Structure 1
Amino acid sequence: MVSEAEKAQFFVILKKLSEAVGVSGHEFEVKKVVIEEISDVVDEWRVDSLGNIIALKKGGGNGPKIMISAHMDEIGLMVTHIDKRGFLRFTGVGSWNERILPGQRVIVCAGDVKVRGVIGAKPPHLMTPEEKKQVIEMKKLFIDIGATSSDEVKELGIKVGSIAVLDREVVRLGGTDRVTGKAFDNRVGVTSLIFALKLLSDVEHEAEVYSVFTVQEEIGLKGATVSAFAVKPDVGIAIDVTTANDIPEVDEKDWVTELGKGPAIKVMDKGNISHPKLRELLIKIAEEEKIPYQLEVLPGGATDAAAIMVSREGVPVATISIPCRYIHSPIEVLDLKDAVYASKLLAAFVKKLSKDHIKRFSML
């Protein structure tokens, strides 16, 4: 069961993380929140040269080394040009569906200064009938911050290379356990890992637990690649979102996962196939702990597990996924129960993993 107190505590952390700005390569605000939340539940932590947070919770000695990875970064926008009237042209950081961008409010960051703006486009009443049928390309969009000249923009500290995110608050939907906001990919995974560490704060376990909050996943799993090399884990777990396509206009066979049915234990995505014995261990633990779960086969996408798997001599990996609707949009939707259950599954896995399990992973 997931208690109301657990959901409330989880929501508070998720809201702080989601509303922070953390575009790939610029995860500074998110890192501050993570460090604040984990400092009293891990034995030590450090930030590596790429910006990953690597936190260690020590085990009982001579136990297996687990790397649990949750990426901190979100997709965003980057300024490419400032015209003489103060409009900003931009490109995407990470993978965007361009059809959602026109008409959005944004926050443009210039150091510690945040400037609100809107994404504008050619007005519809000036479009030809053919143009109205088409998705407006990103190169034809611009950000309007209310400036009247390029000098005004520069006085604010905004320049080529400044980053922007969509402007959204995390809120509950209709007083339910469903919540919506931006950057749940993957701030909910980050929150679930933090919450799991809090569940483990007074628990003894054999394993050495390396919780790694990675950077630059959205542009090619960069943070997981270097941190896995440094940690040298015996086993790796990624915690990330997956698509919940349980909505109108999508056939049930294409749903992948559903909200409210528990976290998903990934079988395969475009980046890797979960180690079969590790996957079965997660299933066994979920059933023992009475944690609802789903099995996930995702046609596209990848997680940090794909990078951890091929580190050094190879690492058995699996992914625990949190179902999420409308991924890579400012209105992502998830169920708090699924996310808390993901934390409980992670914590149970840590408590039960032993050296014997690691040996079995390499047996025929």
Structure 2
Amino acid sequence: MLDKKEELFLQELTDANGVPGNEEQVREIFKKYASPYADKIVYDGLGGINARHIGDKEGPKVLISGHMDEVGFMVTKVTEKGFIEFQTLGGWWGQVMLAQEVTVTTNTGKTLHGVIGSKPPHVLSPEARKQPYDVKDMFIDIGGTSKEEVTEWGVKPGDMITPSIDYRRLNGSKFLLAKAWDNRIGTAVSLKVLENLAQEGHPNILFAGSNVQEEVGLRGARTSTHLVNPDIAFALDTGTAGDTPGMTAKEADSELGKGPQIIIFDASMIPHRKLRDFVIGVAEELEIPFQYTVITGGGTDAGMQHVTRDGVPALAITVATRYLHSHTSIIHEDDYLNTVKLVTEVVKRLDAETVAKLKNY
């Protein structure tokens, strides 16, 4: 199992609040952990962060990147009676939102606890109980009694709202529960691979980073990849697990604990064939478990990486996650550790000759 220091690292990342366009808390954590191993920290204009470590100054540039933002909400209005109206940020299904606890963070950093309000079943007609509750009819209750009171607490339109849940290991198992695994786990992989390679050496120029605004259209990946201009790029993210009751193999067939997912198709890209096969070859050579994965209804930052500038060979390597885009998601710690191992070993093999062969048509 993870040692206490490693588990606190994951807890710190998942406890941080950071919705699209408001990733500052996560960025500061990334900088803290990356700085001891980076020879330079660079930022794109939207706030994406990349830590550079030069293994061979004549080697190719390799970009590995998670994303800092989580799905959440934004305050749009405070009503006269002190309730908060909000806008979703990222893909939410209304059924997982009602009666859930949230944290409102003001622009001064003050946090307020609240709950997404819902009507009790007692007042609903039998027909209404069968219908999904529309997100536009939801609101957040933070215990205010008037618009004036809530405004005095510092709440304004544009403020960040995030799920409220504590990180925990589920009952002594290897299953880890938290908010924001999507995508603090990819950010954690990026940081750990940087640490490994700074200590072990690598034949290239590594940029280990984390992007902004992935959940609203892969926006930060465009600016970050343009800035770095890599020869090879990897998106480190989460993918859908299919090992819970009711899931079908066509919806998702990955299982927690069976290794990192190698995305062979998603809605945002078809991965670079040679790079895909190279990564699979490394996994098979070292007997690192992995899972082939198809995601028909979503994409990762690799979808933007691969069409940046003149085109970049790119691939998404992801950690299977249960209950994505909800307050409570679950990963398996072995998948995290094996993803770190796989990405570390892949980057160690990306020397100038190998990258030239991968890019040679």
**Which TM class, normalised by the smaller chain length?**
over 0.9
Q: Quick check: 1:22–1:73 contact (8 Å CA) kept in 2?
A: yes
Q: Tell me which residue corresponds to 2:304.
A: 307
Q: Quick check: 1:237–1:318 contact (8 Å CA) kept in 2?
A: yes
How far apart, in 2, do the equivalents of 1:222 and 1:243 lie? 21
Q: Quick check: 1:82–1:89 contact (8 Å CA) kept in 2?
A: yes
Q: Residues 83-109 of structure 1, C-alpha deviation per residue, up to 9 Å, x if partnerless?
A: 111011111011101111111111011
Q: Which residue identity does 1:216 align to in structure 2?
A: Q
Shift of 1:255: 2.8
Q: Residues 242-301 of structure 1, C-alpha deviation per residue, up to 9 Å, x if partnerless?
A: 000111112344333110000011111100011111011111111222211111111121
Q: Which residue identity does 2:358 align to in structure 1?
A: F
Query: What value does the CA root-mean-square deviation take over the aligned residues?
Result: 1.3
Alignment of 1:236-247 (within 5 A): 236-247=233-244
- 2:50 maps to 1:50: no
SS in 2 for 1:13: helix
Residue of 63, 67, 72 corresponding to 1:67: 63
Range 193-202 or range 163-172, more displaced: 193-202
Q: Residue 316 and residue 39 in structure 1: after superposition, are their counterparts in 2 closer, same or farther (change >3 A)? A: same
Residue of 327, 331, 344 corresponding to 1:330: 327
Q: Tell me which residue corresponds to 1:124.
A: 121
Q: Quick check: 1:7–1:340 contact (8 Å CA) kept in 2?
A: no
How far apart, in 1, do the equivalents of 2:110 and 2:98 lie? 24
Q: Tell me which residue corresponds to 2:23.
A: 27
Q: Tell me which residue corresponds to 1:316.
A: 313
Shift of 1:152: 0.6
Q: Tell me which residue corresponds to 1:281.
A: 278
Alignment of 1:73-222 (within 5 A): 73-111=69-107, 112-222=109-219
Shift of 1:223: 0.8
Q: Quick check: 1:7–1:336 contact (8 Å CA) kept in 2?
A: no
How far apart, in 2, do the equivalents of 1:199 and 1:67 lie? 15
Q: Residues 147-201 of structure 1, C-alpha deviation per residue, up to 9 Å, x if partnerless?
A: 1110111111101111211101111111011011111000011011111112223
- What percentage of aligned pairs have identical amino acids? 38
Q: Tell me which residue corresponds to 2:231.
A: 234
How far apart, in 1, do the equivalents of 2:276 and 2:5 lie? 29
Q: Tell me which residue corresponds to 1:360.
A: 357
Q: Residues 17-37 of structure 1, C-alpha deviation per residue, up to 9 Å, x if partnerless?
A: 111100000001111111111
Q: Which residue identity does 2:72 align to in structure 1?
A: G
Residue of 35, 48, 67 corresponding to 1:39: 35
Q: Which residue identity does 1:47 align to in structure 2?
A: Y
5+ unaligned residues in a row in structure 1: which ranges?
none
Residue of 264, 268, 280 corresponding to 1:267: 264
Q: Which residue identity does 1:296 align to in structure 2?
A: T
5+ unaligned residues in a row in structure 2: which ranges?
none
Q: Which residue identity does 2:87 align to in structure 1?
A: T
Q: Quick check: 1:18–1:182 contact (8 Å CA) kept in 2?
A: yes
TM-score, structure 2 as length reference: 0.97
How far apart, in 1, do the equivalents of 2:265 and 2:288 lie? 21
Q: Quick check: 2:221–2:301 contact (8 Å CA) kept in 1?
A: yes
How far apart, in 1, do the equivalents of 2:158 and 2:252 lie? 37
How far apart, in 2, do the equivalents of 1:266 and 1:290 lie? 18
Q: Which residue identity does 1:56 align to in structure 2?
A: R
How far apart, in 1, do the equivalents of 2:57 and 2:32 lie? 27
Q: Which residue identity does 2:57 align to in structure 1?
A: G
Q: Quick check: 1:196–1:347 contact (8 Å CA) kept in 2?
A: yes
Shift of 1:9: 4.1
SS in 2 for 1:40: helix
Shift of 1:138: 1.2
Q: Residues 198-219 of structure 1, C-alpha deviation per residue, up to 9 Å, x if partnerless?
A: 2223112111001121000001
How far apart, in 2, do the equivalents of 1:196 and 1:314 lie? 24
Q: Quick check: 1:31–1:53 contact (8 Å CA) kept in 2?
A: yes
How far apart, in 1, do the equivalents of 2:144 and 2:265 lie? 48
SS in 1 for 2:51: strand
Q: Which residue identity does 1:207 align to in structure 2?
A: N
Shift of 1:8: 4.4
How far apart, in 1, do the equivalents of 2:224 and 2:158 lie? 26
Q: Which residue identity does 2:77 align to in structure 1?
A: H
